[in-house]
Amino acid sequence: MYPRLYVDARSLKANPVGVARYVTEMVYELSNLGYKITLISNKDIIIPEKIKKESIDVNVYDKYSKIPGTIFVSLLLSFILPRNAIFLGFCHCIPLFRVKSVLFIHDIVAYRYPETMTLLNKWMNRFSFTFSLKRAKKVITVSKFTKNEIVDFFSLDPKAIMVARNSIDVGLFKNNNSPREKFILAVGSIEPRKNINSLVKAFFTLIEKDNYVGDLLIVGPSGWLMHDFFKEVQSSPYSSRVKFTGFVSDVELSLLYNSCELFVFPSIYEGFGIPPLEALSCGAKVICTTQSEIPNMDLDDITFFDPAIDDLYTLIKDTLVLENERYNFEYNESWAKNADIISSEIKSI
């Protein structure tokens, strides 16, 4: 008999990003294993079609919608949920009392690169994270990179942290042999940590020095602390060559990966880094940050970029002239495999 799981579902919003994908896929796979699941939030959420199942309930405590989500989870849920309920804290936060919790850690950006966050986000993240790390029955990260970060920064025993990696939809993100077009693609929320400003600077240099004729396509929602960045782009004589699409569907994204001339993922810091794997699966040439999980995966046919050196212009120039062959990349870390890891941790609580 599988226990009921209570899941932090606050990330399930319109235009979902990385954490929401992880929640969706793990909820889907855990329900397939036989778990009954209740999604919890203090604000309205959007339930993906994939997890609209009889075994999945939803409890939205909207009367607490004006309370910060971390306060709602860490304090109020401690008394709302049944005693000894099993809670999956997918957003770096768990109830601090009465509840048995599994804490999921995607990154420790609030400690490594706090300057890339708003002041409120930084302190709320640190507040909830510090207590959650001490109170969690189990700790799971999405990558070996993040596990090493936690062990190093908090001096924890590596044996106390399990890794259940992100995956990709190999049925959707695959090489369809579309003709390549003249544009460079980037994917991710537009916020300081994503280092989009360095990419745009390198792109403008490519136009000036090498007469590059394509555009730069940036896919993702606008984030925080980027007002000056947008002003700089708008003031450039090449501003029309930078296209901001906002959020796009996975189907549209797969088509872009398949048709781009080059995919660039220049982040200062990533807990994992799903887009480079999706791009590789679609046969794209890829430049990827070293500050992510990707260098730990022994992948061929990928160019790595160290944001501390910032030689992005040169890397883009050199990669563009490489033969545009289709890479046969297969990623074997399935969502189901990693849900089994999570299930094993739950059973051992």
- Give the mean model confidence (pLDDT) for residues 112-120: 92
Q: Residue 328's pLDDT is what?
A: 65
173-192: pLDDT as tens digits: 999 888 999 999 999 999 99
Kindly tell me if the per-residue pLDDT of 61 is higher than 70. Answer: yes
Task: Put the strands of the sheet holding 215-219 in their side by side order.
Answer: 242-246, 215-219, 183-187, 262-265, 286-289, 303-305
Domain 5-167+334-347 superfamily per CATH: Glycogen Phosphorylase B; (3.40.50.2000)
Phi/psi at 229 (nearest 5 deg)?
-60, -50
208-265: pLDDT as tens digits: 999 999 999 999 988 888 889 999 999 999 999 999 999 999 999 999 999 999 999 9
Kindly tell me if the per-residue pLDDT of 327 is higher than 80. Answer: no
Q: Could you write out the DSSP letters of every residue in 53-89? A: -TTEEEEE-GGGTTS-HHHIIIIIHHHHSPTT-EEEE
Residue 188 near residue 265, CB atoms below 8 Å = yes
Q: ∠ CA(319), CA(323), CA(324), 5° rounding?
A: 90
Q: Residue 326's pLDDT is what?
A: 53
3-state SS, residue 131:
helix
Q: Residue 325's pLDDT is what?
A: 59
Q: Residue 140's pLDDT is what?
A: 98
Kindly tell me if the per-residue pLDDT of 324 is higher than 70. Answer: no
Whole-Å CA distances, 149 to 107, 294, 304: 8, 15, 19
Q: Residue 120's pLDDT is what?
A: 86
262-309: pLDDT as tens digits: 999 999 999 999 999 999 999 999 999 999 999 999 887 899 999 999
Kindly tell me if the per-residue pLDDT of 15 is higher than 90. Answer: no
Q: Residue 301's pLDDT is what?
A: 80
**Tokens 């990696």 map to which residue?**
165
Q: ∠ CA(55), CA(278), CA(294), 5° rounding?
A: 105
Provide the pairing of β-strand 215-219 with 183-187: parallel
Q: How confident is the model at residue 70 (pLDDT cuts 50, 70, 90)?
A: very high
| Secondary structure tally for the chain: helices H, strands E | 12, 13
Q: Residue 298 burial by CB count (10 A; 0-12/13-18/19+): exposed, middle or buried?
A: exposed
Q: How confident is the model at residue 333 (pLDDT cuts 50, 70, 90)?
A: confident
- Give the mean model confidence (pLDDT) for residues 134-159: 96
Architecture in CATH of 183-320: 3-Layer(aba) Sandwich (3.40)
Task: Put the strands of the sheet holding 56-60 in their side by side order.
Answer: 56-60, 37-41, 5-8, 86-89, 100-105, 138-141, 161-163
Q: Residue 331's pLDDT is what?
A: 78
What percent of the chain is modeled with pLDDT above 70?
Answer: 99
Report the mean per-residue pLDDT for the chain.
94
**299: how many CB neighbours lie within 10 A of its CB?**
17
Q: How confident is the model at residue 114 (pLDDT cuts 50, 70, 90)?
A: very high
Rounded Cα distance between 190 and 237, Å, is 21
- Give the mean model confidence (pLDDT) for residues 332-339: 91
CATH 3.40.50.2000 placement within the chain? 5-167+334-347, 183-320
Q: How confident is the model at residue 347 (pLDDT cuts 50, 70, 90)?
A: very high
Q: Residue 224's pLDDT is what?
A: 84
Give the bridge partners for 263, in sequence order.
185, 286
pTM, whole model, 2 decimals? 0.93
